[in-house]
Amino acid sequence: MTMAIVGATRHSTPSSSPSVRLPPSRMRLVGMGLGLLFVALLGRSIYLQLVKQDFLQNQGAARYSRSIQLEAYRGVITDRNGEPLAISTPVQSIWASPADMEPVPVDKINQLARLLEMDPGEVSRKLADKRREFLYLKRQISPELADAVMKLGIPGIAKQQEYRRFYPAGEMMAHVVGFTGVDGRGQEGLELAKEKMLAGKPGSRHVIKDRRGHIIEDIAAIERPRDGQTLSLSIDRKIQYLAFRELKTAVENFKARAGGIVVLDTHTGEVLALANLPSFNPNNRQRLDPSMKRNRALTDLFEPGSTLKPFTVARALDLGIVRPDQVFNTESYTIGPARIKDSHAASSLAVWEIIQKSSNVGSSKIALLMQPQTLWQMFDEVGFGRPPQSGFPGEASGRVRPYKTWKPIEQATMSYGHGISLSLMQLARAYTIFTNDGELKPVSFMRLDQPLPGKQVIRPDTARKMRDMLMTVTQPGGTAPRAQVLGFTVGGKTGTAHKQEGRGYAASKYISSFVGFAPATRPRLIVAVMIDEPQGQYYGGTVAGPVFSAVMSGGLRILGVEPDAPTNNTLIPLDNLPEVREETWSAR
């Protein structure tokens, strides 16, 4: 029984199969294939490791690593005494990486939108755009609000520190300092002109994110930000406040369309104050009328009227064509079809009286004693027709036509400021030839350690004679007794010009101006005032003269300038003083 079973078992066990041997040619073929495959894999590995290493590393890093910009602290802008005019305060911005985010629950979307004061639909659309790896949801919010957003715990939402610009002087300094945009870059004024100096250089850092979009910050710093430099302006904040206040009062009192004022240091050409109206608050520009951004004192052009008469007389004096006491017939006369006349009854005036009483007839006759090129050179040498190169963006060059095109009537009217256009800054700068013994000073918005070299335009003795003549304008019989300053001698010139309208002149729209300096015996300040379209009164001495007086009086005292008038000097009573009216355009 047992044997049978064993035998059966042995019988059922199959016999061992003989080993299969491939033909040698096939074995070689398989070996070559495996070898080629190994070589290809090895070559591909070397190619990826050596040739494509940077690309692959970047692709890998892009899936978990981000480089975030670190904002540089924008430089502070100060006045000449270190008072801040523009500073940066830290704020937060909320950003997201939609490409790495999972769908956000509706209730979280609503909470996020409520905190950021956004429409929930808008937030949903932004976060659903998987093509975007970075986008801002809200910029420049308070740190407290940013913390509240982060407490929502939404993966892929992060905060980033930025800086927001704040302007302590508000509308008073808006046209000088300008402002920055939401990205922190200068858009107007000196913020734009000195962008490179103020902006500094941003830095960057690495952040790591997980697969759900959570950001792990401060992993590695790549480059530290380099903060911007401090910009020290020539502006004196106290004088600026005074100038803005007095200009605003005049514009409101005369219901004027606009106004501008410039205050220069006669020694250095530094701009101590510059103000315009209308103005705006640079800290709140949500409803800003673009016209309010114009720095009218530098960009707007106007016909200066009689404020140009001193330059005509100065050139004639400098060349020895006239003398201060030389008398001219000032009765009306004609040039072609046009008649030039004065409103006062004087039949003759000395040269100094032509300045004091602002005679169009006298000024035009002096101009016609010179060749057109001679008068044109005077205008060119004091900077008319060219930008004043103050460093301010957008400054206007004005317009002086080539002398070869002048007709006699045009030469006559240009002598008293018609047919020529310039800015208030150009006019103020030109008057430095009278305060610096004939030397034209460059103007600057930057505080200077040393005065910049100027250019001699007229002889020193001519400048002194002109100062004496200009002093008579604020005395009895002159056109600007309201420009007097208690305790100081004052020199200056009024201007009253019809406004250009279309191809002609508006009958009842005027530009009223006054440019002057004090103390007249040793000038320290130049103040130029322009009022655009005053209502009611419109003569320069009446409208702009009082603004000059108030600003000059306060400015001299702020600077500690000693009075140069006699100790018993008092202001001339104005109540009963007969007004000498400024001549306007009268070639008819």
Residues designated catalytic: 306
CA atoms within 13 A of residue 50's CA, in its CB half-sphere: 6
**How far apart are alpha carbons 456 and 525 in whole angstroms?**
19
CB 189 within 8 A of CB 176: yes
User: What are the structure tokens assigned to 346, written together?
Assistant: 């004087």
Is residue 83 packed enough to be buried (19+ CB in 10 Å), middle (13-18) or exposed (0-12)? middle
Place of tokens 């355009």: 585
Question: According to the 3-state scheme, what is the secondary structure of 509-520?
Answer: EEEEEEEEEECC
Place of tokens 């406004």: 499
CB 97 within 8 A of CB 87: no
- Listed in sequence order, the DSSP H helices in 194-278 are 195-199, 237-253
Strand, coil or helix: 243: helix
Which among 461, 482, 478, 458 has a CA at the least distance from the CA of 470? 478
Helix/strand number for the chain, H first, E second: 21, 21
User: What are the structure tokens assigned to 155, written together?
Assistant: 């993966």
Q: Is the peptide bond before 18 cis (omega within 30 degrees of 0)?
A: no
**How far apart are alpha carbons 360 and 413 in whole angstroms?**
8
Q: In this structure, what DSSP letter does residue 171 have?
A: G
CB 375 within 8 A of CB 312: yes
314-332 as b/e: b if 16+ CB within 10 A: bbbbbeeebebeeebebee
CA atoms within 13 A of residue 202's CA, in its CB half-sphere: 13
CB 351 within 8 A of CB 366: yes
